[in-house]
Amino acid sequence: MTASYPNLRLRRTRASAWSRALHRETVLAPANLIWPLFVTEGSGVEEPIASLPGVSRWSIDGIVKRANEALDLGIPCVALFPNTQAERRSDEGAEALNPDNLMCRAIRAIKDACGSDIGVLTDVALDPYTSHGQDGLIDRQGYVTNDDTVAVLVDQAMNQAEAGADIIAPSDMMDGRVRAIRMALEMGGHANVQIMSYAAKYASAFYGPFRDAVGSGGLLKGDKKSYQMDPGNAEEALREVALDLAEGADSVMVKPGLPYLDIVRRVKERFEVPVFAYQVSGEYAMIEAAAAAGAGDRDALVLETLLAFRRAGCSGVLTYHAAHAARLLGA
Which residue ranges make up the site for ligand PBG (CB under 6 A)? Answer: 123, 125, 127, 135, 171, 207, 210-211, 224, 280-281
CB of 304 to ligand PBG, least distance (A): 19
Of 123 and 247, the one with the shorter C-beta distance to ligand PBG is: 123
Q: Which stretch binds Mg ion (CB under 5 A): 186-194, 232-240, 260-268, 294-302?
A: 232-240
CB of 238 to Mg ion, least distance (A): 11
With CB under 5 to 8 Å by kind, the binding choice for 288 among ligand PBG, Mg ion, none is none
CA–CA distances in Å: residue 39 to residues 57, 66, 118, 166: 5, 11, 17, 17
With CB under 5 to 8 Å by kind, the binding choice for 240 among Mg ion, ligand PBG, none is Mg ion
Query: What is the four-CA torsion angle of 278, 284, 290, 294, rounded to 10 degrees?
Result: 120
Of 113 and 146, the one with the shorter C-beta distance to ligand PBG is: 146
- Size, binding site for Mg ion by CB under 5 A: 1
Rg of the chain over CA atoms, in angstroms? 20
Of 27 and 246, the one with the shorter C-beta distance to Mg ion is: 246
CB of 86 to ligand PBG, least distance (A): 18
Q: Which residues are catalytic?
A: 201, 255
Closest CA to 287 of 260, 320, 318: 320
CB of 128 to ligand PBG, least distance (A): 7
Q: What residues have CB less than 8 Å from 112, skipping those under 6 apart?
A: none
Of 67 and 125, the one with the shorter C-beta distance to ligand PBG is: 125
123 lies in the site for Mg ion, by CB under 5 A: no
The rounded distance, in Å, linking the Cα atoms of 17 and 89 is 54
Which phi and psi angles does 113 have, rounded to 5°? -85, -40
The rounded distance, in Å, linking the Cα atoms of 260 and 283 is 12
The DSSP call for residue 226 is T
Cβ atoms within 10 Å, residue 235? 8
240 lies in the site for Mg ion, by CB under 5 A: yes
